């Protein structure tokens, strides 16, 4: 699939979300490197959970911690069930991180990002009369954008 994306000539950057308990993540990173297509490889260090009450008006729920791992680093499997943490990362927040990374980061560069739950949830402030998604595509997504500025 990666080769097909590259050969299409229209895909400039791939975003890959590592699935929980991926046994050998370096195998996937090596495939991306070998094909020579720029990528963002995203790893989530906590268990993921669906936010059944998610709406775009409420936006992201957690002020995720996001760090960049140097490309070329050796990656070990992440098993969130053995982390000893009860914290979860909401799938909708991970989706927002993916979208915001495409909006904020240089598509010509490859990177590995690790996201984890933070100790500071986002306070929900009801939007005014009507949210203006032309300014902010998802409420509080600017918080993720601010974290990604330091990664660029």
**Torsion sign over Cα 121, 125, 130, 134:** negative
Q: What is the mean pLDDT of residues 47-56?
A: 85
Task: For residue range 60-88, list pLDDT tens digits in order.
Answer: 888 899 999 987 788 888 876 665 567 88
Look at residue 131 in the predicted model and tell me its pLDDT.
53
- What confidence score (pLDDT) does residue 143 get? 87
Q: In this predicted structure, what is the pLDDT of residue 69?
A: 92
DSSP 100: H
pLDDT value of position 105: 94
Q: Give the H or E element holding residue 15.
A: strand 14-17
**Per-state percent for the chain, helix, strand, coil, to nearest 5:** 30, 20, 50
Q: What is the pLDDT of residue 94?
A: 94
Please provide the DSSP assignment of 106-120 as one string: -TTS-EEEEEE--SS
Helix or strand or coil: residue 127?
coil
Q: In the predicted model, is pLDDT for residue 57 greater than 80?
A: no
Q: Could you report the per-residue pLDDT of 94-144, keeping only the tens digit for each?
A: 999 999 999 999 999 999 999 999 877 776 655 555 555 556 778 888 889
The answer for 124, left when phi > 0, alpha when psi is -120 to 50, beta otherwise, is beta
pLDDT at res. 133? 53
């Amino acid at each position: 699939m990666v080769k097909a994306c590259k050969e299409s000539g229209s895909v400039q950057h791939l975003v890959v979300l590592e699935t929980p308990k991926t046994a050998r993540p370096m195998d996937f990173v090596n495939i991306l490197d070998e094909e020579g297509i720029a990528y963002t490889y995203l790893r989530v260090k906590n268990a993921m959970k669906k936010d059944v009450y998610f709406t775009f008006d409420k936006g992201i729920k957690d002020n995720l911690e996001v760090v960049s791992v140097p490309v070329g680093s050796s990656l070990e499997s992440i098993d969130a069930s053995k982390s000893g943490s009860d914290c979860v990362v909401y799938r909708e927040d991970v989706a927002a991180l993916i979208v915001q990374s495409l909006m904020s980061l240089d598509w010509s560069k490859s990177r590995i990002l690790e996201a984890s739950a933070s100790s500071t949830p986002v306070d929900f402030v009801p939007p005014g009369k009507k949210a203006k998604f032309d300014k902010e595509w998802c409420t509080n997504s600017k918080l993720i954008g601010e974290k990604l500025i330091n990664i660029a």
